[in-house]
Amino acid sequence: MLDIPLPGPEKFIWPVFVVEGTKKREAISSMPGQYRLSADMLLKELSRVTKEGIGGILVFGVADKGKKDNNGSMAFSAKGTVQKAVREIKREFPELVTCTDVCLCAYTNHGHCGPLDRSGIVNNDKANQMLAKTAVSHAEAGADCVAPSAMMDGQVVSIRKALDKAGFNQTILMSYSTKFASAMYGPFRDAENSAPGKGDRNGYQASYGNIRQALLESQLDEIEGADILMVKPSLFYLDILEKLRGQTNLPIAAYNVSGEYSMLIATADRGWGNLNAMVRESTIALCRAGADIIISYWAGRYKEIFRT
């Protein structure tokens, strides 16, 4: 009776990958059960998950290779993959909370989260301008919530200001406020084809050994005006989640990342564990640690995993 119940579907946000074109449903080999979908195919999936009561989605765009440039300009084009998809999603499912990933790495020809300067280093201030433009273009398309994931200094305040100036003061800002430089993102990079061509992103993601820095990052984003904070990845960072819960009154989202998803599938595939039981246990762990929102690939399989 005193047990924390399994979270209802409304607590979940499902990350989805949208590609250009129609009738596309490409399996992501490192994330069994997840697909890159063209907008029309995504709508079909959404009619299923909205019936199951899923709380929301988080839309990632995958740009065609030929359209990538140094600035990642397709990220903020009204004709971008995400913008087109969001317009269709909100037309069909006006009630579905639609969040969008705001970053440039899927749109830059070098795979970094902001434009590079002449010495090959990400230009933080320029990146903030591009990210703000991207967030506004998503809000114009109908996004309810924008989620900046680039980890640039000052990105939250830049985006908040730009949204307010454009009349989108109601648009929710969910910040990837504590995002670790983690080895658990591998399958996602496969899904988004967004591994950096050269170098890594460790310079602008938190070190997983540093608790104080991790908590400070979230605190700064709260001061900058974030509406929802996030811990990413989640299962390896339950202590951070719990400490952050004690530090803030904002809602906290736990991002149950691709590696955490695929790890359980791989274990179950080898007959070393029961998939549904492992997913349920790990999900309860996130709730116990203080997550209000669970961003998870399991959301797309809610009925199969949690209702059987």
- Residue whose structure tokens are 């009154």: 249
Q: Which residue among the candidates 11, 68, 133, 179 is catalytic per the annotation?
A: 179
Residue 94: CB minimum distance to Zn ion, A: 29
Does residue 232 carry a catalytic annotation?
yes
Nearer to Zn ion among residue 113 and residue 293 (C-beta): 113
CB-nearest residue to Zn ion:
105
Positions touching Zn ion (CB under 5 A) are 103, 105, 113
Residue 105: CB minimum distance to Zn ion, A: 3
Task: Give the torsion through C-alpha atoms of 244, 247, 250, 256, to 10 deg.
Answer: 0
Q: Which residue among the candidates 11, 68, 133, 232 is catalytic per the annotation?
A: 232
The DSSP secondary structure of 10-32, one letter per residue, reads GGEEEEEEEESSSS-EEE-TTST
Does residue 23 carry a catalytic annotation?
no
**Among 239, 285, 240, residue whose Cα is nearest residue 260:** 285
Nearer to Zn ion among residue 9 and residue 114 (C-beta): 114
Distance of alpha carbon 107 from alpha carbon 114, whole angstroms = 9
Residue 120: CB minimum distance to Zn ion, A: 17
> Among positive and negative, which fits the CA dihedral 204, 126, 72, 78?
positive
- Residue whose structure tokens are 């540093």: 210
Nearer to Zn ion among residue 113 and residue 295 (C-beta): 113
Residue 150: CB minimum distance to Zn ion, A: 5
**C-beta of residue 135 within 8 angstroms of C-beta of residue 102:** yes
Nearer to Zn ion among residue 185 and residue 306 (C-beta): 185
Nearer to Zn ion among residue 141 and residue 150 (C-beta): 150
Burial class (CB in 10 A: 0-12, 13-18, 19+), 268: middle
**C-beta of residue 285 within 8 angstroms of C-beta of residue 307:** no
Residue 191: CB minimum distance to Zn ion, A: 13
Distance of alpha carbon 159 from alpha carbon 151, whole angstroms = 12
Residues annotated as catalytic are: 179, 232
